[in-house]
Amino acid sequence: MTPKRPAPTPGAPNSPSARPLIATRRILICDHNKQKFADFVKALAEADIEVKQVDDRNTVLQTALDYQPDLILINLFLNSAHTLGLIREVKTATERQGTKIIVLTSQNSRENIMECIKSGASDFIIEPFDSRQLLQRVKYQLQDREAYSPDDLKAEPTQVLAGFQLLYDCLRILSEVRETHKSVFEVLKRLADISKSPRVNLILADVNTNLASVIASSDDESMSDKIVDLEKYPEVREVVLKNTIVYIKDITQNPLTKDIKKNLKDIDITSLLVFPIRHRSETLGTLAVRLSKDGLEVSDKHLKSFYMIALCLAPKVAAKKLMKKMESQK
């Protein structure tokens, strides 16, 4: 969660007479080109978000400490020099204030993207960018949401026991049902029944192309290989990029996920729980559980149990990725 900035004291330079008691969100743009951000900055002003822009890499760190932005947009190349080291410095220095970082880059190779994420970035956006798209990404990063590291899910014996039946059922289905798609569908359906979810999806994602493929869905056995734009699935992007478990409690309050309501008017969805599908040190996609108002009350036990199911599904997703690669080479 993003920590709240302390309220100003009366009589201080930033007193309530000069600034509101509830601090306005702040964004620091680190880029030499002001013109390309003109529409973006205008939209931020309309959303009551403050903006400061710097173009000298030597002033970025101190400005970030003084200005205390909620989010920093930084060009991967500033003053014709690589900024990965600078990003690491800024992330370390602003960790306590909860500053998020989005990298602007024209290099969209997976290796380059993962280096940005490892250095502390929360997201990246490829240039040239669309101002509306950038605004959506920024608003998404400014939202409060919970993320869990899979490495932190150390299950206690009682929790393992509680999730054993579900794990056993899913492993039995995957081993006994001959047809691969049918077995995956049955597992997703089992998860949907347990969580009272209107829809559980298994998704294969590629951040390089910004495309994803819905491999299977619990509410439609015929669904297979439905291609979707990752811009419409920001929670999937985040999970694949950072190998985290993301829980968005209220999709209507999020600038991107609130559109799910419009696209799926016949399905009652209030929150999202998304798990990484990881195979041989690579995050291939996600297991996404959509929750309704009267659905599952998420607990630590459910996080651990569902993550174990995601691990069980990983070989199926890896096989699907290999199959798609072979088909593209024909």
Distance of alpha carbon 291 from alpha carbon 295, whole angstroms:
6
φ and ψ of 55, to 5 deg: -125, 5
Task: Identify the residue whose tokens are 């903006």.
Answer: 51
Contact yes or no for 325/186 (Cβ under 8 A): no
Average pLDDT per 10 consecutive residues for the chain, totaling 330 residues: 43 38 76 89 88 92 93 88 89 88 83 84 86 85 71 51 73 90 95 90 90 94 90 85 84 65 61 90 92 78 86 92 80
pLDDT score of 9: 40
Query: Greatest CA separation found in the chain?
Result: 73
Question: What pLDDT is attached to residue 155?
Answer: 45
pTM for this prediction: 0.70
The whole-number pLDDT of residue 263 equals: 57
SS3 177: coil
How many angstroms separate the CA atoms of 279 and 204, rounded? 12
- Is 213 in contact with 204 (CB distance < 8 Å)? yes
Amino acid at 172: R
Q: What is the pLDDT of residue 157?
A: 45
d(CA 149, CA 157) in angstroms, rounded, equals 20
User: How confident is the model over 91-145, as pLDDT tens digits?
Assistant: 999 988 889 999 998 877 777 788 888 888 988 888 888 888 888 888 888 876 6
CB 167 within 8 A of CB 309: yes
Alpha-helical regions (H) of the chain: 38-46, 57-67, 84-93, 110-118, 131-142, 157-176, 180-195, 234-242, 259-263, 300-328
Measured N-to-C along each axis, helices 157-176 and 180-195 cross at an angle, to the nearest 10 degrees, of 150
Separation CA 192–CA 309 (nearest Å): 12
243: left (phi over 0), alpha (psi -120 to 50) or beta: left
* pLDDT given at position 315: 93
Among the listed residues 216, 251, 218, 257, the one whose alpha carbon sits nearest the alpha carbon of residue 234? 257
Nearest-5° angle of CA 141, CA 145, CA 149?
A: 100
